[in-house]
Chain A
């Protein structure tokens, strides 16, 4: 019964959106919906087969869903033209730094933990 799980996803999103409007939190409603579904799965202890199927179908084409919004850059072409240097340098520097820092830190922390376990 696939319809049931589609309704579940929409219901989680709706609950998230309603909560955001009600509380005034600056958090995206669908993210609260995701947190809600996550908590539900943790309680349930497993992913229902039908839900897994619906989600895998939806997420296998996730990148298609960014396209309409991405096309919206055509409205900002003038701005991009003015600020291309700031944007491109920021993207490169920040991406390189983020990859290097997270990778190194993760490796360092894991090694330290495994070291401690080996001693203890």
Chain B
């Protein structure tokens, strides 16, 4: 009895300290990443998706609410801001690719941003999605930190956007090659660009498996999509809703 009480005390102490959920977040991700690597990088076993499922299951089983979890996880979350700023470096490194192709790249990516947001909005609206869902869906092709920023700025749910961004990435990584093959997009520059513009970092990881050229174009497309979306989508969404 006494021992149980002592254990209970320790549990209460641990659960109240941010350290527990910070550690749990890192361990869940390390475990998910290990599974992903062991599977030969199967797109469906995306480490972000796996860690989220794992953590939601653990929190649900232990009856922990999100604010309690976030008190610990916020230290990881905070790094999203500096990481977004850091995206300027890969964008700059891939700048040389633009030199001759800047017009096709900008037109394709600008069109991609439009098609991605408008088709998601139209389909979800048509099937009765709520306004909050629509706003959270709009930046689904944008890299997560920027998508969450856009969603938050226009009254969406940043956490829902983050989950939808990850799902979009996983989906694109799984079906992207098949879609591109069916439209005969065999050029590696076009393939990389399409993956980066539609599926951000997860698409870029997939593009690097195709070739270095595809990867570089994908990284560039991801950066430009984020930049264009961040400056255009909030204004368009404000106007639409």
Contact = CB atoms under 8 A, between A and B. Distances in A.
Interface of A: 6, 9-10, 12-13, 16, 26-31, 33-38, 41-42, 47, 51-52, 54-55, 58-59, 62-76, 79-80, 83, 85-87, 89-107, 109-110, 113
Identify the interface centre among A29, A54, A73, A97: most chain B CB within 10 Å of its CB. Answer: A73
A9 B84 CA distance: 9
Q: How many B residues are at the interface, by size bracket? A: 35 or more
Contacts of B92: 38, 41-42, 47
Given A87-B137, A102-B109, A69 B104 contact: no
Given A31-B230, A68-B25, A70-B48, A95 B168 contact: yes
B216 interface: no
Given A64-B48, A83-B130, A104-B185, 5 more contacts: A30-B85, A62-B83, A70-B48, A90-B120, A103-B180
B70 to A, nearest CB: 6
Nearest to A107: B190
Contacts of A74: 56, 59-60, 66
A109 B121 CA distance: 27
Interface of B is mostly: helix
20 contacts: A28-B152, A29-B81, A31-B230, A33-B84, A34-B88, A35-B227, A55-B89, A59-B86, A66-B80, A66-B144, A66-B162, A66-B166, A70-B163, A72-B66, A73-B163, A79-B130, A90-B124, A94-B115, A99-B176, A103-B191
A14 B103 CA distance: 32
B52 interface: yes
